[in-house]
Amino acid sequence: MNAAAPMSDDLRTLYQEIILDHGKNPRNAHLIAEHTCKAQGNNPMCGDRVTVTAKVAQDQVQDIGFEGKGCAISIASASMMTDALKGQSLETAEKLFAAVQELCTGKSDATQIKTRFGADFETTVERLASLSGVSQFPVRVKCATLPWHALMSCLQGNGETTTEKP
């Protein structure tokens, strides 16, 4: 696999704007009363805590919401995650989880992920790609991936997760 391409300054600015927007005005920032699963994430490195609730039926994420306290990146990531996953199949949720891991660690860039997901997911991938800026700041990677780890625990019924380990 090719390494991710270096990021231009324009792209970096755009990514920062998306993160600031979601950090200030998080989407779906509430717990779902009729949830079918719930999990908490804890990132002691930064003090981020997030609770994810989802309503899953017929292998589909029908509703999803979160409550979080922490840095702008963790909140923005949770917000983007709920936006991206509402209405998606569990299979897609797992694929997006993997994609976000790759974006945040710099293993893949937006173009590579877009190719994998195709035209239907272009906008979703474009937004999630704003998290890829953290790949240059290893401590921040955990802030960005925390809500996603919590989500996977939620969907897999594991309750609590922590991203303390590398």
Confirm or reject binding of residue 150 to Zn ion (CB under 5 A): no
State the number of binding residues for Zn ion (CB under 5 A). 6
Residue 37 or 150: which CB sits closer to Zn ion? 150
d(CA 13, CA 19) in angstroms, rounded, equals 10
Give least dist CB 56 to Zn ion, A: 27
Give least dist CB 71 to Zn ion, A: 3
d(CA 75, CA 73) in angstroms, rounded, equals 5
Among 46, 55, 86, 107, contact with Zn ion (rule: CB under 5 A): 46
Give least dist CB 103 to Zn ion, A: 17
Residue 49 or 95: which CB sits closer to Zn ion? 49
| Ranges within 47-86 binding Zn ion (CB under 5 A) | 48, 70-71, 74
d(CA 40, CA 64) in angstroms, rounded, equals 14
Among 143, 144, 151, 152, contact with Zn ion (rule: CB under 5 A): 143
How far lies 97's CA from each of 3, 35, 90, 93, 114, in Å? 19, 20, 10, 6, 14
**Cα-trace Rg, the chain:** 15
DSSP single-letter state for residue 30: S
Residue 42 or 88: which CB sits closer to Zn ion? 42
Count CA atoms within 13 Å of residue 32 on its CB side: 21
Per-residue b/e over 149-164, b at no fewer than 16 CB within 10 Å? bbbbbbbeeeeebbbe
Give least dist CB 105 to Zn ion, A: 16
Q: Which stretch binds Zn ion (CB under 5 A): 61-69, 98-106, 109-117, 135-143?
A: 135-143
What does residue 142 show for φ and ψ, rounded to 5 degrees? -70, -35
Q: Under the rule (CB under 5 A), what is the footprint of Zn ion?
A: 46, 48, 70-71, 74, 143
